[in-house]
Structure 1
């Protein structure tokens, strides 16, 4: 008999659960999904204020300000657009899965005497409230109460995570709210040096510590890194800036574009988590943390942002190439002439030191070899200078002759170097690249 009693108790529980499933979950009339009642009759755009008390009893108030939303309690900060959109659209489209009880005597039975989550909001001047209690035994729905109604309804449980949001969840965690295409300057101060990047007519240039063309891929990567940077956490009661290493920041970055620049300062690492560092935004009182990798990105050597391509020209837009070697200049120009059938075609022709027909394939090979030259690194020793007479000088005209590249090449021991006429410093290049250019030159008459 001892073993029979637990079995009977379990059987009673299973019967009760089965009955519940039958009554609450299974008795749905055909087409019920289409006939479900909306909890609120309103438009998402009509909501202008929301207060959420989360399961952790943290209360947050958000308020619309023009086209934007702000967190106004317990802190003042921009709200996360995605979070706000999720809240307003969910409130506007929220549906009753089932009315469980029309006249409830004891809301405690459903966890609604002291709701687990409470959402209060204003729409077109009218205050509304959604109270969320416990979950149904199967977990597919949650008990809810609308305003001060006497009934209990069921709403989908997946909405639990939409409404159970704390202050940090709801605030905007993006550090740089500037349109990517609008960014036209970035200033970085870190590791005892300043890096300045500016964009003019769509082209990025390194403006400090030296003036030189910037590498589009490297700058684009930096912009993406800033655009995607997010807060990891916030300090509830920030102390003095020196507590966080922000009195003398390890790095400061200023991104400008549009109406007002964004200035971000990064300080020391957290004592409890070395993967995050403290940071603050100019004009805002709060202190927060960001991923430490952002600080490392801002500490990069300015030379890493320099354009590595020695030529802007490419084979398809080159109209003239000239090579000066051992005091003699050989030049080729792309000319338009008639083919044997009388049709116009473009051909390469030697124009210096004397006019002659040229092998177009060999000229193209020279252009490909030259324009493919990239810097492996840049010489940091200011005492190293380009020779007065390089091994050879290549000048390329492109974009219908409107633009010109002028690059010198030479060797020193086992190393090869090059320098652009319009950029300071010396680039260290692969000796194999110089060999390729030399072979292409020797192939020409």
Structure 2
């Protein structure tokens, strides 16, 4: 074999070896890239205790203090737990679709082109007191993916645009916006004060009672509705440095709500919300626990009770008409007793046939009868113009009194409500027993 042949063979082997080495290197790079493209950042959300979010609106510094997120800069405020959870979720769940390699010497030019110098959004993540990483979010060339870079890596990645949106939060979005914060199950009483009226309700075991301006049972469903409205009242704008409360009408509020709640240790906390003048977008308001003034949507103010009627029970009676077997209609000078005999209604006193359908209609009206207003009492109910009592076996299950007519309403009292009420006259007229007699 000649020297020339040996050299040719060596060259071929060198080329083959280089190709194999190059191929292996590329495969390794692909594996490395595949490994890098899984998550934007690996973190345990429960261990994150600090975030700094820098946007065009400025930087917001957040820290978790005793398990609760607080804003430290630019103002010291309570943070929105939901907003922080959203930021952490978008960091944790972001996956990188690909990496872009930066050639040496052109990093600054490329990073500027990608919108990473300066970044659209920068998030600094702190875990157990130490910085885990800094993540920069850049441009979105096709409004689908966005350039992203971690300070701990030299490569630029791409992730979904909505992941950038999910962390692009300013002070307004990150601060707590609930006007009142309490657990409904812990509330012991609520006081709603207006210039001319105070309404107070208090928990009584598993139910609620009105304390002011009247006393008696309260409608649990209505109370729960008021508590839900209070717990869902959100601030819509802020004045973090109010010059005075009088300029907002908060020195003499038009509405004040005091929610008393009991803690696990038995202590009582009062959450107070004051509402002042009408603003351009709602009403000015202030919580006793914070120095700033904010606005609330007008629907919140309009939805607060203006009388105790809304919170009181409306149904006058509670019985099942199908179980009733005896009904007595009592007038001042006479009475009518009707009994159910083998599913047929008859008049026992005075005796005679009656229309069973009309009798059932009277019972249905009684079963559904609701008050349209409360009264301070009516003398006419001491000697009612009509009293209707219903029995099931030997038990009185319904007792209703009707008094004098007042316009298109009638004074009434039922066994479910401890005070006087007004019902619609049209409903009261349907209770008159004259309609049940056959031929009348």
TM range (shorter): 0.7 to 0.9
Q: What is the DSSP-based 3-state SS (H/G/I as helix, E as strand, rest coil) of the residue aligned with 1:294?
A: helix
1:51, 1:121 within 8 Å by CA — same for their partners in 2?
yes
**Superposed CA RMSD:** 3.8
Q: How far 1:193 moved relative to its partner? A: 1.0
Q: What is the DSSP-based 3-state SS (H/G/I as helix, E as strand, rest coil) of the residue aligned with 2:52?
A: strand
Write the mapping of 1:352-367 to structure 2, written as runs, cut at 5 A.
364-367=360-363
1:386, 1:419 within 8 Å by CA — same for their partners in 2?
no
Q: In the alignment, does 2:254 pair up with 1:250?
A: yes
Q: How many residues align?
A: 398
Q: How far 1:266 moved relative to its partner? A: 0.9
Write the mapping of 1:153-232 to structure 2, written as runs, cut at 5 A.
153-232=157-236
Q: In the alignment, does 2:113 pair up with 1:109?
A: yes
For 1:368, the equivalent position in structure 2 comes to: 364
User: Which protein shows a greater Rg?
Assistant: 2
Tell me which of 265, 269, 274 is aligned to 2:278. Answer: 269
Q: How far 1:243 moved relative to its partner? A: 2.4
Q: How far 1:358 moved relative to its partner? A: 11
Mapped to 2, the partners of 1:355 and 1:384 lie a distance apart of: 34
Mapped to 2, the partners of 1:420 and 1:293 lie a distance apart of: 34
For 1:16, the equivalent position in structure 2 comes to: none
Write the mapping of 1:29-178 to structure 2, written as runs, cut at 5 A.
36-57=37-58, 59-102=59-102, 105-106=107-108, 107-178=111-182
Q: How far 1:316 moved relative to its partner? A: 5.9
Structure 1 residues 200 and 397, CA gap change in structure 2 (3 angstroms)? farther
For 1:21, the equivalent position in structure 2 comes to: none
2:180, 2:271 within 8 Å by CA — same for their partners in 1?
yes
Q: Kindly provide the CA deviation profile for residues 261-283 of structure 1, in whole angstroms up to 9, marking residues without a partner as x.
A: 3211111123xx1x322211122
- Which runs of 5 or more residues in structure 1 are unaligned? 1-28, 340-346
Q: What is the DSSP-based 3-state SS (H/G/I as helix, E as strand, rest coil) of the residue aligned with 1:262?
A: strand
Structure 1 residues 352 and 416, CA gap change in structure 2 (3 angstroms)? farther
Tell me which of 326, 335, 346 is aligned to 2:332. Answer: 326
Q: How far 1:194 moved relative to its partner? A: 0.2
1:251, 1:298 within 8 Å by CA — same for their partners in 2?
no
Relative to the length of structure 2, the TM-score reads 0.77
1:83, 1:170 within 8 Å by CA — same for their partners in 2?
yes
Q: What is the DSSP-based 3-state SS (H/G/I as helix, E as strand, rest coil) of the residue aligned with 1:82?
A: helix
Moved more, 322-331 or 281-290: 322-331
Q: Kindly provide the CA deviation profile for residues 352-409 of structure 1, in whole angstroms up to 9, marking residues without a partner as x.
A: 9799999987765443221221223345xx69532432122234578995x9654311
For 1:377, the equivalent position in structure 2 comes to: 373
Q: In the alignment, does 2:409 pair up with 1:408?
A: no
Relative to the length of structure 1, the TM-score reads 0.76
Mapped to 2, the partners of 1:406 and 1:281 lie a distance apart of: 46
For 1:315, the equivalent position in structure 2 comes to: 321
Mapped to 1, the partners of 2:303 and 2:132 lie a distance apart of: 47
2:249, 2:276 within 8 Å by CA — same for their partners in 1?
yes
